[in-house]
Structure 1
Amino acid sequence: MKHVESRKEKMSLFLKILWPIMVTQVSLFAMNLVDTLMSGRVGTNDLAGVAIGSSLWMPVFTGINGILLAVTTIVAQLIGSGRRDKISEAVTQSLYLAMALAFTVVISGVFLLEPILSFMNLTEAVNHISFHYLIGLSLGIIPLFLASVLRNFFDGQGFTRITMIITVLAVPFNVLLNYGFIFGNFGLPALGGIGAGYATAATYWIILLFSIYMTFRVSTLKHYQIFVKWVKPSWKTWKEQLSIGVPIGLSIFFESSIFSVVTLLMGMMFTTITIAAHQVALSFTTLIFMIPLSISMALTIVVGFSVGGGKIQAAKQYGRLGVFGGIGILAVGAIFLYFFREQIAYLYTDDREVVLMAGQFIIIAIVYQLSDAAQSGLQGVLRGYKDVKVPFITAFTSYWLIGIPTGYCLAAFTWLGPFGLWIGITLGLTCAAIGFFVRLQIVQRRAELQL
């Protein structure tokens, strides 16, 4: 990356970084989409079981991944300020930290998974599929977190195409593994929805191996001697990374967990048909959300690079470009969702009752996605400034003190039923977007005064 002056050059640099991230995010989500599509073809219980399992896993994954996202911000600012010699140690310490976090997650799952599923009072079939889906997936947690560090190391330098190549190469493996483990092809056992967990875990190992290979293959990355030049684990460095990463991780956790909590509440309050319809609508709208999420990640890189180089006006220009661009793209996507909502649902299931209910969920999703695009972009800008603590508080308040309670009350005590939960999501995301916008004005003003 290099600092540029004109708006045209900034647009070019931003798009150069953005499009590989977007392809990467869509490819990553395609793996989850394949899990859902193939599981749905086995049966409604398998679709619901994978939905519950995914809903328990995704907040954990996104939260930990958010902690490791600190690597992107740290590397981008080190490069922007010309301190490349500090990068190797920072990445190595993050690898140690990722291992520690992975072991913590696995050990916690041993003690907590069964009680959580029992508490939800699911049907025996759905409970069984959810439990064993997560057991299979747990085999890939360690490589996933290590690969996340390397991905953030690549992205922080603007090498987003490397991550894209790795992920795109992994997708076919994921499809074939799902085809094998779910339906019993290639001599593998037919595990139904459970097989999606084992297929995903195997794919995570493939992604890690590709990522390690690239650190030795690309000359610019090889220069840092990752996996060659080792340093002792340093709690001081971990503390610095956690001070940035934990608020990011918690903010992402609070956002992603509202969708998971809604899924869990669906399982406790409504029928298997409702769970399946909710999962269908959530799965496809999340695919579209990969666009503003990618914009958010690109914003963290270019804003962090600009702030590290003391170019605050450039950071502001990147922020406006990304945030308004994300909202505009989702507005166009809303039209597509409205007119093709039932056709989209039929991609997942042939159950007419599930399709009709999923179409109704998608209509509500059209509204919340605009707020989601705004809050995602604004958070990306704030992370570029290393401003993470106030956004964390804003996220917690918006999602957990406003969104979830409102959604539950609407679902439990009004005629809206399950749709009330989605209205609560919309309210929480809207409040978060407003809070992040106000915070960004303060942070930008403060940064200008420090010049």
Structure 2
Amino acid sequence: MNLKKYTSEFKNNIRLATPIMMGSLGHLLVGLIDDIMVGRLGAVELAATSLGNSIFFITLSVGLGFSFAITPLIAESDGEGDKEKGRSIFQHGIILTAIIGLVMFIALLFLKPILYHLDQPEEVVVLAIPYYEIVAFSMIPLMIFQGFKQFADGLSQTKYAMWATILTNIVNVILNFTLIYGFWIFPRLELVGAALGTLISRTVMVFFIYIVLMKKDKFTIYLKRLKFEELKKERFLKIINLGFPTALQMLFEVGLFTASVLLAGTLGAFPQAANQIALKLASTTFMIAVGVGVAATIRVGNQKGLKNYFELRRIAFSNFLMIFIIMFAFAIGFIVFKDFLPLIFTENLEVIKIASSLLVIAGLFQLSDGLQAVILGALRGLQDVNVPSGLTFIAYWIIGFPISYYLGTKAGFGTFGIWIGLLVALTSSALLLFIRFNYLTNKLIQEKNGIT
């Protein structure tokens, strides 16, 4: 194998992926900052934010899936050089993400009673409710931001969302410090303060990216508002048809990890807090894979627009190789520093002990987690979403979750057993998705060359 034909693309991949990585990490950092600051209040408080965020992120995954449909469609129109088509996709996408944000907020309010029936410690639920109610409202600005972000990403202009999330984190840190612990004229609000910081910072994020894009000439044609008569049912349906299977795929994955939180919660507040620590650390490195995955979506989408399927396959494989190398380094880091990383969140020795064992498994699934995310990104660039959605359901819920449930609750392995199931699920997903991508791209090349 001539590795140079793949490694030569690393520079272009990194150029696109780095701002997305930073932006994705920024989104995650909002929650991570909440966890670190709330963790200083105690293990029960940390478990409460975990529980409150669990339902939120399940719902968010649905909205994100729809917004992700905007990027490959914009990338394809950009590859075709059709700006009017791109403008139409963007404007319809913004309308759709705003509506989804409102619907998701209302859905979260209706879902609130579920928190009382998840077999979680009572003291955790009591603290989680007010946090959950405020964070739920942040769904609206977050989804509007996603519409702008996915549009800019599709045009390979990935730095603007990064700037927005950097600003968000600065605002969030300042607000958390003043509102969680109390400072100057601000009262000590603890978990409610963390939720308010998240809501305000996400609202600031929307205004920032809108103002930045509005001032750039390159976006002028896209930001020209559609007239009512320009709205097309077919355009909305195109985004929905591409977004719905993506939303399902994300729901399956986020649902699996949320199920791990809930299973850990049935074992007590300490195992749940340890599970949250391991998930946060694994999610942090996963954001790197998300960045590379979006880069794969953009570049594959561009090549699809050009109908250059041989280059499409080569570029996609360069992203697969790059994420494998990156995640291998993270895997080593997790295993080597497993006893030190939990100290970032808590000083509770029991929580640290449990989290340390989980980080060994988290280290092992770095490779498969990263690969499946980037392969999904490449398939999204091909606008192939239905079959991958089914494959992830099989991997996560037919293969992985039964193993998590049995080992975690029946076989006595506790949280360690739950995470073995996660490892099996992610590895199965990576394998099935790679087979799918390999089949599709070979088929496209053969069809273009007239081979049946």
Normalising by structure 1, report the TM-score.
0.95
CA distance, structure 1, for counterparts of residue 92 and residue 106 of structure 2: 22
Amino acid corresponding to residue 449 of structure 1 in structure 2: Q
Report the counterpart of residue 3 of structure 1 in structure 2.
Answer: none
Report the counterpart of residue 333 of structure 1 in structure 2.
Answer: 330
Q: Indicate yes or no: 2:223 matched with 1:225.
A: yes
Q: Indicate yes or no: 2:317 matched with 1:320.
A: yes
Amino acid corresponding to residue 435 of structure 2 in structure 1: V
C-alpha displacement of 1:109: 1.9
Amino acid corresponding to residue 24 of structure 1 in structure 2: G
CA distance, structure 1, for counterparts of residue 436 and residue 58 of structure 2: 24
CA distance, structure 1, for counterparts of residue 187 and residue 132 of structure 2: 17
Report the counterpart of residue 408 of structure 1 in structure 2.
Answer: 405
- Output one character per residue of 1:202-225: Cα deviation in whole Å (capped at 9) or x when no partner: 111011001110221111012323
Q: How does 1:4-153 map to 2 (within 5 A)?
A: 10-114=9-113, 116-153=114-151
Contact 1:21–1:160 (CA under 8 A) maintained in structure 2: yes
Contact 1:139–1:198 (CA under 8 A) maintained in structure 2: no
C-alpha displacement of 1:8: 7.5
C-alpha displacement of 1:230: 4.1
Q: More deviation in 7-16 or 92-101?
A: 7-16
Contact 1:39–1:47 (CA under 8 A) maintained in structure 2: yes
- Output one character per residue of 1:72-107: Cα deviation in whole Å (capped at 9) or x when no partner: 010000011121111112111112211221222122
Amino acid corresponding to residue 122 of structure 1 in structure 2: Q
Report the counterpart of residue 385 of structure 1 in structure 2.
Answer: 382
Q: Indicate yes or no: 2:394 matched with 1:397.
A: yes
- Output one character per residue of 1:182-236: Cα deviation in whole Å (capped at 9) or x when no partner: 112253332212322221111110110011102211110123234x444455432
Q: More deviation in 58-67 or 148-157?
A: 58-67
Amino acid corresponding to residue 12 of structure 1 in structure 2: K
CA distance, structure 1, for counterparts of residue 40 and residue 152 of structure 2: 37
Amino acid corresponding to residue 204 of structure 1 in structure 2: R
CA distance, structure 2, for counterparts of residue 186 and residue 35 of structure 1: 20
**Residues 7 and 365 of structure 1: CA distance in aligned 2, closer, same or farther (over 3 Å):** closer
Q: How does 1:178-189 map to 2 (within 5 A)?
A: 178-189=176-187
Contact 2:56–2:108 (CA under 8 A) maintained in structure 1: no
Alignment: residue pair count: 443
RMSD: 1.6
C-alpha displacement of 1:350: 0.7
**Residues 147 and 354 of structure 1: CA distance in aligned 2, closer, same or farther (over 3 Å):** same
Q: Structure 1, unaligned stretches of length 5 or more?
A: 1-5
Percent same amino acid at aligned positions?
A: 26
Q: Indicate yes or no: 2:330 matched with 1:305.
A: no
Contact 1:51–1:279 (CA under 8 A) maintained in structure 2: yes
Report the counterpart of residue 210 of structure 1 in structure 2.
Answer: 208
2:158 to 157, 160, 180: 160
CA distance, structure 2, for counterparts of residue 230 and residue 273 of structure 1: 55
Q: Indicate yes or no: 2:362 matched with 1:365.
A: yes
Report the counterpart of residue 254 of structure 1 in structure 2.
Answer: 252
Contact 1:92–1:231 (CA under 8 A) maintained in structure 2: no
**Residues 385 and 43 of structure 1: CA distance in aligned 2, closer, same or farther (over 3 Å):** same
**Residues 89 and 147 of structure 1: CA distance in aligned 2, closer, same or farther (over 3 Å):** same
**Residues 284 and 8 of structure 1: CA distance in aligned 2, closer, same or farther (over 3 Å):** closer
C-alpha displacement of 1:49: 0.2
Q: Indicate yes or no: 2:445 matched with 1:439.
A: no
CA distance, structure 2, for counterparts of residue 425 and residue 184 of structure 1: 39
**Residues 230 and 211 of structure 1: CA distance in aligned 2, closer, same or farther (over 3 Å):** farther
Query: SS of 2:119's equivalent?
Result: coil
- Output one character per residue of 1:139-181: Cα deviation in whole Å (capped at 9) or x when no partner: 2211111110000110100001111112112210011111122
Q: Structure 2, unaligned stretches of length 5 or more?
A: none
C-alpha displacement of 1:255: 1.1
Report the counterpart of residue 191 of structure 1 in structure 2.
Answer: 189
Amino acid corresponding to residue 125 of structure 2 in structure 1: N
CA distance, structure 1, for counterparts of residue 342 and residue 434 of structure 2: 34
Amino acid corresponding to residue 242 of structure 1 in structure 2: I
**Residues 356 and 8 of structure 1: CA distance in aligned 2, closer, same or farther (over 3 Å):** closer
- Output one character per residue of 1:269-316: Cα deviation in whole Å (capped at 9) or x when no partner: 201011111111111121111111111111000111111111112111
Amino acid corresponding to residue 405 of structure 2 in structure 1: Y
Amino acid corresponding to residue 277 of structure 2 in structure 1: V
Amino acid corresponding to residue 137 of structure 1 in structure 2: V
CA distance, structure 2, for counterparts of residue 424 and residue 437 of structure 1: 20
Amino acid corresponding to residue 106 of structure 2 in structure 1: I
CA distance, structure 2, for counterparts of residue 177 and residue 304 of structure 1: 39
**Residues 186 and 200 of structure 1: CA distance in aligned 2, closer, same or farther (over 3 Å):** farther
Contact 2:180–2:190 (CA under 8 A) maintained in structure 1: yes
Amino acid corresponding to residue 68 of structure 1 in structure 2: S
Amino acid corresponding to residue 67 of structure 1 in structure 2: F
**Residues 328 and 235 of structure 1: CA distance in aligned 2, closer, same or farther (over 3 Å):** same
Query: SS of 1:42's equivalent?
Result: coil
Q: Indicate yes or no: 2:439 matched with 1:428.
A: no
